[in-house]
Structure 1
Amino acid sequence: MRLSQHLCGMAALSLALATQGHAAAANTQTDCLFAWAESHAPELFAPAGAVSGQSGSYYYRHYPSLSTYLAVSSADSHVYYLGPASNGAVQDIGSLAFWVGQAQCPASSSATYPLVDTGQRKFYGNTAELGSAPATATAAFYGEDAQFAGRQLSYQNNGDGTITDLHTGLMWVAARGSKVTWDAAVAGASSSRVGGYSDWRMPTIKELYSLIDFNGKSAATAASSVPYIDTRYFEIVFGDATGGRVIDGQDWSATKYVSTTMNGDVTVFGVNFIDGRIKGYPQYTPGSRTGSTLYVRYVRGNSNYGVNQLSANGDGTITDHATGLMWAQTDSGVAKNWQDALAWVQAQNSANAFGHNDWRMPNAKELQSIVDYSRSPATTQSAALSPLFTATAITNEGGTTDYPWYWASTTHLDSNGAVYVAFGRALGWMRLPGSSSYSLLDVHGAGAQRSDPKSGNVSNYLLGKDARGQSAYGLGPQGDVVRIANFVRLVRDAP
């Protein structure tokens, strides 16, 4: 429903907001609502020159160019409008809760880590898009990403080279810039003055991942590719424009891997907004001290974003008060293909697991939110996960103790595979220089996000043999190990 249409149908009330009050302190929830109104009904709320203030119980925003007010009353938690669309009379246009829901604003101003949806709105089977949404909980593929709508991606162009995320409270640099070394990227944050601000920083991997949009799809050419980021707001450069592969458009984060990848490479996590993955990238060109170069997009605001506030509830569940999500403390215990994993979640609901029947498989952003990037199998002998959780130990393809990859409900459109997050080593089979056999390496780091086929047999992905003469099955330039069967962890909205 458009805001302007709703206004025309409401009765006028007697409220005088014509006298401006003093400037008010920011209110995260109502400021988010005001920004959403400006974005969705600019004919009513032109942001240029707008001023926020307080008058009695009303927190308002005044739009002088249109002689318009939009206000929220703390007395009744309703939203009010005064302006030309109401013929100069004040209108009660409904409850704050209703409009916050329409705007997909954080549930409360205390939400320090509000997760933004993946953007995925279509339904997918094992190999292709489904014709319609699964209708019941017993239907095949019920419970995938599009079944649940979260806070939809919503940005504001501030007109000064910056973009504000209306949910997370993070402000971003819109321009792509040039590729730089990680050391130069870190150093450059303090000297950046984009938009007139001097408090820019390198984004953590969780901050950076908040921007990913899973309507993206990479292809052989830039013309046939769709970036995994909203290019109406953020500039993106395909790799072939700078002499590389189409997908070579990766961004550095501030998050270093606590272990190493490949053959002992010092590694930094980054997001590739062209192929839709988190991977660990070498800080230096392998075999030298020359810095590898990627892009960087600076961020400011909400310095608590990405910081979990976990507590065990004593009933087999864990609540993250920062995101508002409740998690099962244990995982599925066994690996399953994607369709069976979705069905397993519904079986847990039928069994009222941990006293609840509204569990779901987490989407990609929900799942990545609980990665603990201070942990890894090699450094803490654990999954990259808070010790409040338990993770089933597995034996990986090289015969080493490791930890699972967990399915997300999100489909990766490049191959119609399903997204997973590696809470153990993100393994790949590499044929090292001078060797005719493949070696199994942690190529992307615990905490990486990649994708696996939803069904089939790993024998379809034969690369060759390892030094023991065993078959190596993998995909892509780093020979990403193919599993097809991965683990599951339940999530639901916390009360």
Structure 2
Amino acid sequence: MMPRFLECAAIAALAITAAGACLAQDLTYPLVDTMQDRCFDTAGQTIACPAEGQPLSGQDAQYARRAAVYIDNGDGTVTDSVTNLTWQQTPENARLQFSESLTFCQALELGGRSDWRVPTIKELYSLADFRGELLKPEQGTPTPYLDSAVFGFDYPQPPMVFAGQYWSSTLYVKGPVINGQNQGAFGFNFADGHIKAYGTGFDFFTGEASADSGLPTGGNAPGNYVRCVSGTENLYGVNDFQDNGDGTVTDRATGRMWQQADDGTRREWAEALAYCEALDLAGHDDWALPDSKELQSIVDYDKTELPAIDETVFGITKDSETLDFWTSTTFGDIKSHANVIAFGKALSKSADQAEYTDWHGAGAQRSSIKTLTNQELTDEDLCSINACDVDRPDNLVRCIR
């Protein structure tokens, strides 16, 4: 398959001219590859990547995107030359409350820098490496969703090895999370490859410390790790949408073009891949199902109402509380699942809850089962110790080129 997502260097090397299509030097939000390098079937088995036009063609690994380029500065910091962000190489191996993480990064002096801060969720997600997989001990050695050849990372002690959550500074502003009145802040879990909103220990409605948070520590969130970042604030992760007037939207910050409105049809994963591969829209026939980072890039985390997308430029089907959209990225922990981005409520519940709640927050990255055909998965496969997500095989689709 000919890769359709060629970065400027690759286009120049091939002497391809595409006026206005290659402005990487001007991109303020260059997207980093997920690094997923294998193809999978709907049962989760590794397969040879299908040829163009064949079933399951169009997966994440089949498109060349810009790989992360990390520079170890030799002073406890790492610079990503794609995003121009500099990161704390090895974080403190201690959980902090959300407010403590803000204070910690503000006070950090490292690598001759004092302008450290907690990253936004879009900055933090740029580090996600979807070659990761959290294996059970009998299955082998786990791989974090992070380039551990460059960054320091320690799994939490058993039995909580999956709890590798790192804070972002992005608050969930659309409502309380988990249950009750909890304020949430998004984070990414480098152990199990998910975005979700974690309780900050503050009341969503008052902003004060919550005495009725429903969290196990009686008002305080369990706490997450933090990896501080240095770089121009409010630059990376900010969209610049242009309505092209032909059913497409271009994000001039990322250089990606989007299908403006989904077609309202829910599909299983194989059908979603095929739909985008076959789409002919606005004179273009080189559409594809977006990878996880591409789709997450258009989430509107600042909007206070659902859905979590800029409706001044995008159309979106509103047929359910859960508006999960497929990505082409297979979920490393359970490869019968693919990643989804939640533009509506990200529903889940604990074992003692009768009803699902917006546990993870709109803008979360979860995973959905690719198909119900010939699947024999149990609750033990699909639920964590803490929660069971809504897991549906038919999700919405928005294509990219």
**Counterpart in the other structure of 2:240:** 309
Note the residue ranges of structure 1 that are not aligned, 5 or more in a row.
1-28, 34-94, 396-401, 464-472
The yes-or-no answer on 1:344 pairing with 2:275 is yes
Once the two structures are TM-superposed, the CA of residue 374 in structure 1 deviates from its matched residue by 1.7
Provide the rounded CA distance (Å) in 2 between the counterparts of 1:359 and 1:204: 29
Letter of the 1:405 partner, please give it: D
Per the alignment, do residues 361 and 100 of structure 1 end up closer, same or farther by CA in structure 2, a change over 3 Å counting? same
**Counterpart in the other structure of 1:390:** 315
Equivalent residues of 2:187, 2:195 under 8 A apart:
yes
Per the alignment, do residues 462 and 226 of structure 1 end up closer, same or farther by CA in structure 2, a change over 3 Å counting? closer
**Counterpart in the other structure of 1:290:** 220
**What secondary structure is seen at the aligned counterpart in 2 of 1:441?**
coil
Per-residue CA shift, 1:128-162, capped at 9, x if unaligned? 344322112x2011111011010112201000000
**Counterpart in the other structure of 1:84:** none
Provide the rounded CA distance (Å) in 1 between the counterparts of 2:263 and 2:95: 41
Per-residue CA shift, 1:298-325, capped at 9, x if unaligned? 1111430000111111111111010000
- Counterpart of 1:156 (choices 71, 75, 82) is 71
**Counterpart in the other structure of 1:170:** 85
Question: For 1:205-216, what aligned pairs fall within 5 Å after superposition?
Answer: 205-216=121-132
Equivalent residues of 1:457, 1:484 under 8 A apart:
no
Provide the rounded CA distance (Å) in 2 between the counterparts of 1:262 and 1:227: 25
Equivalent residues of 2:44, 2:334 under 8 A apart:
no
Note the residue ranges of structure 2 that are not aligned, 5 or more in a row.
1-6, 17-21, 202-212
Per the alignment, do residues 342 and 446 of structure 1 end up closer, same or farther by CA in structure 2, a change over 3 Å counting? same
Once the two structures are TM-superposed, the CA of residue 430 in structure 1 deviates from its matched residue by 3.0
- Counterpart of 1:358 (choices 286, 290, 293) is 286
**What secondary structure is seen at the aligned counterpart in 2 of 1:353?**
coil
Provide the rounded CA distance (Å) in 2 between the counterparts of 1:262 and 1:220: 26
Provide the rounded CA distance (Å) in 1 between the counterparts of 2:64 and 2:71: 21
Provide the rounded CA distance (Å) in 1 between the counterparts of 2:348 and 2:322: 15
Once the two structures are TM-superposed, the CA of residue 97 in structure 1 deviates from its matched residue by 3.7
Equivalent residues of 2:196, 2:364 under 8 A apart:
yes
Runs of 4+ in structure 1 over 2 Å off: 95-101, 106-109, 128-131, 220-223, 285-292, 429-432, 457-463, 473-477
Equivalent residues of 2:351, 2:387 under 8 A apart:
no
Equivalent residues of 2:277, 2:289 under 8 A apart:
no
Provide the rounded CA distance (Å) in 2 between the counterparts of 1:330 and 1:361: 14
Equivalent residues of 1:474, 1:481 under 8 A apart:
no
Per the alignment, do residues 244 and 295 of structure 1 end up closer, same or farther by CA in structure 2, a change over 3 Å counting? farther
Equivalent residues of 1:391, 1:403 under 8 A apart:
no
**What secondary structure is seen at the aligned counterpart in 1 of 2:270?**
helix
Once the two structures are TM-superposed, the CA of residue 96 in structure 1 deviates from its matched residue by 11
Equivalent residues of 1:430, 1:439 under 8 A apart:
no
**Counterpart in the other structure of 2:111:** 195
- Counterpart of 1:410 (choices 329, 344, 353) is 329
**What secondary structure is seen at the aligned counterpart in 1 of 2:176?**
strand
- Range 122-131 or range 414-423, more displaced: 122-131
- Counterpart of 1:248 (choices 154, 163, 182) is 163
Provide the rounded CA distance (Å) in 2 between the counterparts of 1:149 and 1:134: 15
Larger Rg: 1
Cα RMSD, aligned residues only: 2.7
The yes-or-no answer on 1:269 pairing with 2:157 is no
Provide the rounded CA distance (Å) in 2 between the counterparts of 1:394 and 1:217: 33
Per-residue CA shift, 1:274-305, capped at 9, x if unaligned? 10110111112635333431111111114300
Per the alignment, do residues 133 and 431 of structure 1 end up closer, same or farther by CA in structure 2, a change over 3 Å counting? closer
The yes-or-no answer on 1:475 pairing with 2:383 is yes
Equivalent residues of 2:30, 2:254 under 8 A apart:
yes
Per-residue CA shift, 1:69-92, capped at 9, x if unaligned? xxxxxxxxxxxxxxxxxxxxxxxx
- Range 145-154 or range 454-463, more displaced: 454-463
> Higher strand share goes to which structure?
1
Higher RCO structure (Cα 8 Å, ≥6 apart): 2
Equivalent residues of 2:324, 2:343 under 8 A apart:
yes
Per the alignment, do residues 128 and 459 of structure 1 end up closer, same or farther by CA in structure 2, a change over 3 Å counting? closer
Provide the rounded CA distance (Å) in 2 between the counterparts of 1:100 and 1:216: 35
TM-score (norm 2): 0.86
The yes-or-no answer on 1:450 pairing with 2:366 is yes
Among all aligned residue pairs of Structure 1 and Structure 2, give the percentage whose two residues are the same amino acid: 39
> Higher helix share goes to which structure?
1
Once the two structures are TM-superposed, the CA of residue 100 in structure 1 deviates from its matched residue by 12
Per-residue CA shift, 1:253-274, capped at 9, x if unaligned? 0001012112121111000001
Equivalent residues of 1:345, 1:360 under 8 A apart:
yes
**What secondary structure is seen at the aligned counterpart in 2 of 1:354?**
coil
Provide the rounded CA distance (Å) in 1 between the counterparts of 2:193 and 2:124: 12
**What secondary structure is seen at the aligned counterpart in 1 of 2:144?**
coil
Letter of the 1:418 partner, please give it: A
Once the two structures are TM-superposed, the CA of residue 333 in structure 1 deviates from its matched residue by 0.8
Provide the rounded CA distance (Å) in 1 between the counterparts of 2:240 and 2:374: 38
Once the two structures are TM-superposed, the CA of residue 234 in structure 1 deviates from its matched residue by 0.9
Provide the rounded CA distance (Å) in 2 between the counterparts of 1:313 and 1:112: 20
- Range 293-302 or range 106-115, more displaced: 106-115
Per the alignment, do residues 457 and 135 of structure 1 end up closer, same or farther by CA in structure 2, a change over 3 Å counting? closer
Provide the rounded CA distance (Å) in 2 between the counterparts of 1:338 and 1:296: 34
Equivalent residues of 1:428, 1:474 under 8 A apart:
no
Letter of the 1:329 partner, please give it: Q
Letter of the 2:370 partner, please give it: K
Per the alignment, do residues 302 and 458 of structure 1 end up closer, same or farther by CA in structure 2, a change over 3 Å counting? farther
Once the two structures are TM-superposed, the CA of residue 459 in structure 1 deviates from its matched residue by 9.8
**What secondary structure is seen at the aligned counterpart in 2 of 1:254?**
strand
The yes-or-no answer on 1:238 pairing with 2:155 is yes
**What secondary structure is seen at the aligned counterpart in 2 of 1:345?**
helix
Provide the rounded CA distance (Å) in 2 between the counterparts of 1:403 and 1:157: 41
Letter of the 2:395 partner, please give it: N
Equivalent residues of 2:322, 2:346 under 8 A apart:
no
The yes-or-no answer on 1:485 pairing with 2:400 is no
Once the two structures are TM-superposed, the CA of residue 474 in structure 1 deviates from its matched residue by 6.5
Question: For 1:101-180, what aligned pairs fall within 5 Å after superposition?
Answer: 107-136=23-52, 138-177=53-92, 178-180=94-96
